[in-house]
Amino acid sequence: MERLAIVGAGISGTPAGYYLQNQYDIHIYEQSNRVGGHANTIEVFEGDKSFFIDTAFVVFNKPNYPCLTQFFQDLNVETQKHIGGFNFYNLDLGIQFSSEEFDLNREEVEQNCNPDFLSLYDEANRFFTQCRNDFWEGKTRIPMKYYLDKNNFSQEFTDNFVMLMGSAVWSIPTDSLMDFPASTFISFFMTHDKGGLGGKSVEWETVTKGSSRYVEKVKSLLKRPIRTGEKVISIKRDKNQVIIKTATGEEVFDKVIIATHADQALQILEQPTDLERELLSSFKYHETAVTLHTDSAVMHPVRDTWKSWNYGQITRDEKNYTFVTYYSNMVHNFQAEKDYFVSLDTPPVELDQNKIIQVINYKHPEYDMNTLEAQKQLHKLNDTGPVYFSGTYFHIKKRGIDSYGFHESGIASALEIVNKLKQA
């Protein structure tokens, strides 16, 4: 049986190991002491009760996550319906609106909503109608800023809708979002919902007791334990074999799958090919601080407006900050004495230190036109072997080069390699 090394135990590495373990002698390396990558659930306690809160990957839906859905079914992972809905608010200006307002028709908006919301409502509807047509006509493969300017969308709409929704979905700074490919932004909302993660046109689900449950399940079903806390220092090709170097020494494998971020893959490769260097170097990453806490200071002051996904804005020192806060009680549908929040890139609103449970740092790609261009050739990296690549930075082949950057693209890229290696 050939020896296969997998570097990285996230949404690409663990499915690859699970589905290939009957054909290969598999060794999975994970530099962290924790398995799962962005599947990271924190358990909190209230007396003799406990609650499970996701801090990165949270929701999925069956129509747009077919590979992930099948993986959960194969693992016999229990899932539950997610209560959707989003809330937008500006802590300075008092602007607030939610998904319910966007479900109204225009006459109902005129009768029931703040007049200031009407122009935003009209632009949002124009945006989602026009961008779908522009996408299919090939007019959206330009930076987001150019697309918005070219089509005369207002700064108010950019600040109070596009910025909030985009930074929430991709967890990147708003400055970077303006360099984001418009086609990738639009593709996500076309395949998911115009409400993004809080939309209602599809039935959203979460993993019961948190996404770490699927990680625990796949760990229990692997024939060989994952080698946690073992960082791969380098990967070197040697004729038809691959040499993996760690702090404990070197091991020889017949094949390797590098299931990490693109920049990490390039860093550990010895003598990368010109194509590997060109494509992998196209991806830059942003570190996001995620805070699990119980302080409602970052929420809209009117509690009845709170939704699963809360997109906020605040201005400090003439700079506009956007942020997203998950209201975890609603996201996971549990009843607790306290309100639990997961805030990404918390704004300059001072949190009560006694209410902070944990701060976790994650890295997310900052997509731009270079990453979109790289998608045209990215799958060529896996044409020959014995070194293969997978990760969320790959696009989903069935959807084209515009669709990448989430859990489904991570597992879909891994399954492409699984099918290739099973046929080898």
Q: Please write down the HEC assignment for all residues of 284-311.
A: EEEEEEEEEECCHHHCCCCHHHCCCEEE
Q: Which residue has the tokens 């135990």?
A: 9
- Whether 108 is covered by a domain: the verdict is no
List strands edge to edge, sheet with 96-98.
96-98, 86-90, 309-316, 319-327, 341-344, 284-293, 356-366
> Considering the domain boundaries, does residue 28 fall inside one?
yes
Q: Give the integer Cα–Cα distance in Å for 376 and 242.
A: 27
Percent of the chain with pLDDT over 70: 96
Residue 393 falls within a domain, yes or no? yes
In the chain, DSSP finds a helix count (H) and a strand count (E) of 16, 20
Where is average pLDDT lowest: 142-151, 318-327, 393-402?
Answer: 318-327
For residue range 106-133, what is the model confidence (pLDDT) as tens digits? 888 888 887 778 888 899 889 988 998 9
Count of domains for the chain: 1
User: What percentage of residues in the chain have a pLDDT greater than 90?
Assistant: 64
In what order do the strands lie in the sheet containing 255-258?
A: 227-228, 25-30, 3-7, 255-258, 387-389
Query: Is the residue at 412 inside a domain?
Result: yes
Residue 417 lies in a domain: yes
Compute CA 417 distance to the chain's CA centroid, rounded to the nearest angstrom.
Answer: 21
59-61, strands of its sheet edge to edge: 59-61, 204-207, 79-81
Report yes or no on whether pTM surpasses 0.75: yes
Per DSSP, what are the bridge partners of residue 245? 234, 250
Identify the domain containing residue 274 by its residue range.
3-44+210-283+368-423
Task: Report if residue 374 sits inside a domain.
Answer: yes
Question: Comparing C-alpha atoms, which of 297, 301, 303, 304 is closest to residue 343?
Answer: 297
Q: Residue 224, Cβ neighbours under 10 Å: how many?
A: 11
Q: What is the CATH number of the domain that holds 253?
A: 3.50.50.60
Instruction: Flag whether 20 is in a domain.
Output: yes
Give the tens place of pLDDT for each residue, 147-192: 999 999 998 888 888 887 777 777 776 777 888 899 988 888 777 7
Out of 2-11, 89-98, 131-140, give the one with best mean pLDDT: 2-11
**40 domain-assigned:** yes
Helix (H, G, I), strand (E, B) or coil at 250: strand
